[in-house]
Structure 1
Amino acid sequence: MEEGQNDVSYKRFRRRMTQRSSREGPSAASTPLATGRQCEPSFDFDPVCQRLQLDDSPPRNHELSSYPHEIPSGEDVFRCGAVMRPNTPRIITAMERPAPENALEQGWVWRAAVQEHGHGQETGSGGSRHDLQPFAVLDKAYVGVQGKSVMKLAAPALLNDYYTNLLDCSCNGLIALALGSSVYLWDSETCILVGSLKQSPQPGSQHCHTPSISSLCWSRDGRALCIGTRRGEIQLWDVEHKQTIRSLPSHLSVVRALSWKQQLLSSGSVLGRIHHLDPRAPVPLVGAAVQQEGICSLQWSPGDDQLASGSTEGHLYIWDGDIAGFTRSRQPISTMNQPSAVKAMAWCPWQSKTIATGGGWEDCELRIWDTDSATCVTSANTNSQICSLRWAEKKRCLVTGQGLPQHSVTCWTWDCPSLSPIHQLTGHSHRVLHLALNPDCTQIFSAGADQCFHIWDM
């Protein structure tokens, strides 16, 4: 009797699923996408990439579940406008394509600073944080004092996320700072806001929200700004002409880090995929690599012969400079370990094969590594979470942005093997998430979880 009841239940279940499928349309896993979601047919994705599944497809359920704090919403796993929820099995088919380029371009708008309201005025520290405009002056010290910031500016809506990379300074001294789903450009020489690059919902998509920006990076010549979002989109923006260079289809998940190798762009995602892109090529994806854990930092060495990628599980991987090809068997040439995520990371500009990393809450250690021998040359305990790290080449020092208890910016001298702090700059009330330096290394820029942007004299 029980067997008969089970058979009836199964038939009822199968009938309901069949009816639901007919109402909701065909499955994207086995049939073409519906007309409303179909990607531009003229975009021909490299068949080699399709066969080798290099489109950043999500791993199995247990792999996605290991990042609960890094995938807070459905916007983090994305393909062709359709949201993939975490822990949803997925079958790769040849019908899937990256999002059409023109669809992404329509969602970005440039606004000159004159269209903003009151950016340049000094508001004082007593103003309401919600009423402040980006880069509004909160406090200004006309005479620089050691340990005190020269200027304190507003950075409202700055995402308090340890794994983001939202601040960079170009070789021309132009600051790019991502606040929410917008990027603001501020001239560090004139202290004037240039304008902002904003995302807007697609025409006709009333229920679509704009994804927040997760990473950005200037090209080495300072002409192009690369922006990565939590939906896996990568946007190249021509700053001089205020127009889109190209919208690159890349990842299915959060673009955590970006780095340039001459004219090539490398991107890393929360799912551990590294994509090498040539924006000049009809099919931009020219190479790829895969690491086991999510990527939270990515940087090419000064000589472009090695690529470093930091993982959420405390691994620092070093890859060789040969990026061509799509084989999944590609392995790093060396691996170094630390007890916490390798998010704060930077190559030494004047010492070949040398890289610095900063530890998180479980570690608090600042380390200098020799990538040839894969060994730690020296280290120093900071007694705080290291959120960001930069080398000041012309000052021959290292700068770290830290969390509790001081929320400080610390300058270090490295005279191998000695690593010693020389200045501790305090002023932030929460952890210092991002750091940047101007081209001549005379100023440090810091952005913190207190939604403040500080300028410090070196």
Structure 2
Amino acid sequence: MQLISGESNDLDDMRRLRAFVGKRRHCPSKGQNDTHHVSYTEFRRRIFQRSSSEGPAESTPLATGRQCEPSFEFDTVCQRLELDSPPRHHEQAQRVLHGNLPETALVGGMVDHGAVTFGDFAARGRLATENHPEQGWEWRAAVQEEAGFDEKRHILQPFAILDKPSVSQQGKSVIKLAAPSLLNDYYTNLLDCSCNGMIALALGSCVYLWNSETRGLAGYLDLRPRPGTPYHQVQSISCLSWSRDGRALCFGTRRGELQLWDVEHKQNMRCLPSHLSVVRALSWKQQLLSSGSVLGHIHHLDPRAPTPLVGAVVQKEGICGLQWSPGDDRLASGTTDGHLCIWDSDIAGVTRSRQPISTMEQPSAVKAMGWCPWQRKMIATGGGWKDGELRIWDTDSGTCVTSTNTNSQICSLRWAEKNKYLVTGHGLPHHQVNCWSWEFPSLTPIYQLAGHSHRVLHLAINPDSTHIFSAGADQQFHIWDM
């Protein structure tokens, strides 16, 4: 095959350059007399001269002046962790690390937080979008439809009403809405309600925003892949969380990406440094964001700072639950092998030697978890299908103060502060939502809300504790009037 004009000479230049670099690596002294050595700048100049006069040239053979940022060496992880339920489309959920690679490039040194306000990085968000054009995350209005959409994908619109409002056996009204493409994965966290009553629900590679007060779809964040990208390579969202003031929404993907959005102004604020594995859980501490990955890494990020990473720790097991306490003085992390770890509020520094202040165990993964809003040292956890036990722990003593067997998988858990209820979402055998009252030390069931045909993966409660929102593996979104 005949090469395009100009390409042969460029390749010859590259071969000579590689030989030149190889000789330089073995050269003991910079002062050796070798008249045949030509500088890299000269090679680069020749390539661009030929490209402008004769035809297209190859890309620059070597990166110039690239410097590696200081990085933190985490433990090498060379094993894959099984998901409780694999996604319907195969995705590269994890990247196996070889050698002594860190999970993420962690910049050394601590950051001075300074007097930066939360709204100050709208401009930084524009820079993040410009620097990461391949990300393709776009805000789209609810009424906007684009020609060429896959019809099968839009047969059932998100939040479309499936049935007229009905009444459950307990006398509670329920509205059933559509949640197509909801990932049936036990370890995901795809539903959250802001302090303003805005619902965020991740469906595949989109995040839909639905106003629980007006009962209307506000819009959605969509990942538009580059043309020609195979469907199985499109990354889906694995977790999301609203900031406490309801202005920012953060979501993580199955490929380790973290995106931070200003929902009010409908713009991307930052693409945060994150993990090289699935982001399983997110939690806010005022303006500080913590994220946990499938490889057991917990990162603490301050999105206002030029270098967002301010602290990190590592656990041996994968993270599937993460939550700061109401007083922001403790962080709870749940792992896939049944450990509930409690960390103090000192998150500064990047270290793998820090240990939790207490660790509690249960026979299954600690994914469903939540701090009690009015007993701030107490935390509730739900067991998986091998366990089914609902427990409340005293994190000061590290002991279980009460428990009850639900005889079913507990997939999700939330506290309703104003009603002082504990709400749990269940899998087999009944796929129901249970409400509990807790008067120390006993747990008493109040309501059993049936309506889902598959396990209730996610729960959310509005700020007034008047409605429970549930999303199930049956791809339905239910609103329960309390």
CA distance in 1, matches of 2:63, 2:464: 45
Q: Is the 1:248–1:279 contact (alpha carbons within 8 Å) kept by the matching residues of 2?
A: yes
Task: Identify if the C-alpha distance between structure 1 residues 66 and 244 changes in structure 2 by more than 3 Å, giving closer, same or farther.
Answer: closer
Contact 2:170–2:448 under 8 Å retained in 1: no
1:170 alignment counterpart? 194
Separation of aligned partners in 2, 1:168 and 1:342: 19
In structure 2, do the counterparts of structure 1 residues 212 and 74 end up closer, same or farther at CA, with 3 Å as the change threshold?
Answer: closer
Aligned to 2:80: 65
Counterparts of 1:288 and 1:153, CA distance in 2: 39
Amino acid at match of 1:111: R
Aligned partners of 2:84 and 2:187 also within 8 Å: no
In structure 2, the CA distance between the partners of 1:339 and 1:40, relative to structure 1 (3 Å rule), is farther
Supply the distance in 2 between the matched residues of 1:366 and 1:97 (Cα, whole angstroms). 37
Does residue 198 (structure 1) correspond to residue 222 (structure 2)? The answer is yes
Q: CA deviation at 1:457?
A: 1.0
Deviation, structure 1 residue 206: 4.0
The answer to whether the 8 A contact 1:105-1:247 is kept is: no
Write out aligned runs for 1:204-219 (5 A): 206-207=229-230, 209-219=233-243
Other-structure match for 1:110: 139
Tell me how far 1:92 sits from its aligned partner.
Answer: 2.6
- 1:89 partner letter: H
Asked which structure has the greater CA Rg, the reply is 2
Name the stretch that deviates more: 437-446 or 67-76. Answer: 67-76
Q: Cα distance 1:75–1:45, how it changes in 2: closer, same or farther (>3 A)?
A: farther
TM-score (norm 1): 0.80
Query: Which position in structure 2 is the counterpart of 1:232?
Result: 256
411-420 or 208-217: bigger deviation: 208-217
Letter in 2 for 1:65: R
Corresponding letter in the other structure for 2:324: W
Give 2:364's match in structure 1, choosing from 340, 344, 355: 340
- Tell me the equivalent position of 1:252: 276
Of the candidates 250, 273, 297, which is equivalent to residue 273 of structure 1? 297
**8 A Cα contact 1:147 1:426, kept in partner:** no
CA deviation string 1:366-386 (max 9, x = no partner): 000000000000001101000
1:300 equivalenced with 2:315 (yes/no): no
Equivalent residue, structure 1, for 2:26: none
In the alignment, structure 1 residue 89 sits paired with structure 2 residue 98: yes
Q: CA RMSD in A?
A: 3.0
Match among 86, 92, 96 for residue 75 of structure 1: 92
* Structure 1 residue aligned with 2:454: 430
In the alignment, the residues of structure 1 paired with residue 294 and residue 163 of structure 2 have an alpha-carbon distance, to the nearest angstrom, of 37
Check conservation: 1:45, 1:97, Cα contact below 8 A.
no
Q: Can you list the C-alpha shifts for 1:233-255, whole angstroms capped at 9, x where unaligned?
A: 00001101000010102100000
Partner of 2:417: 393
Contact preservation (8 Å) 1:76, 1:252: no
Cα distance in structure 2, aligned partners of 1:181 and 1:92: 28
Contact preservation (8 Å) 1:255, 1:270: yes
- Residue 151 and residue 94 in structure 1: after superposition, are their counterparts in 2 closer, same or farther (change >3 A)? closer
Counterpart secondary structure, 1:140 = coil
User: CA shift at 1:201, angstroms?
Assistant: 1.5
Separation (CA, whole Å) in 2 of partners of 1:160 and 1:331: 33
The change in CA–CA distance for 1:355 and 1:448 in structure 2 (over 3 A counts) is same
Given the superposition, is the C-alpha separation of residues 176 and 160 from structure 1 closer, same or farther in structure 2, using an over 3 Å criterion? Answer: same
Say whether the 8 Å CA contact 1:149–1:454 is kept in structure 2: no
Distance 1:206 1:37, change over 3 A: farther
- Against the structure 1 CA distance between its residues 313 and 274, is the aligned structure 2 distance closer, same or farther, given a 3 Å change threshold? same
Instruction: Provide the residue aligned with 1:291 in structure 2.
Output: 315
Q: Secondary structure at the match of 1:139?
A: coil
Deviations 1:312-358 (A, max 9, x none): 00000000000000121000000000000000000000102100000
- The aligned amino acid for 2:98 is P
* 2:282 aligned counterpart, secondary structure: strand
Question: 1:20-39 CA distances to partner (integer Å, 9 max, x unpaired)?
Answer: xx9xxx9xxxxxxx979999
Deviation at 1:427, TM superposition (A): 0.2
Q: Does 1:443 align with 2:467?
A: yes
TM-superposition CA deviations, 1:102-160 (whole Å, max 9, x none):
2267410111011149xxxxxxxxxx997211000001227787355421000000000
Report what 1:369 is aligned to. 393
Structure 1 354/332 Cα, relative in aligned 2: closer, same or farther at 3 Å? same
Q: How much does 1:76 deviate?
A: 2.5
Aligned to 1:368, the other structure's residue is in SS state strand
**Aligned equivalents of 1:256 and 1:97: distance in 2?**
19
Structure 1 residue 444, shift from structure 2 partner: 0.1
Native 8 Å contact 1:340 1:363 kept in 2? yes
Extract unaligned runs of 5+ from structure 2.
1-17, 23-57, 108-127, 147-151
When the two structures are aligned, how many residues end up with a matched partner? 398
The SS at the match of 1:90 is coil
In structure 2, C-alpha distance between the alignment counterparts of 1:152 and 1:453, rounded to whole Å: 6
Q: Say whether 1:261 aligns with 2:285.
A: yes
Say whether the 8 Å CA contact 2:288–2:300 is kept in structure 1. yes
The 10-residue stretch of structure 1 (206-215 or 229-238) with the greater mean CA deviation from structure 2: 206-215
C-alpha distance in structure 2 between counterparts of 1:199 and 1:380, whole Å:
42
Show the counterpart of 1:53. Answer: 73
Q: Which residue of 2 aligns with 1:413?
A: 437
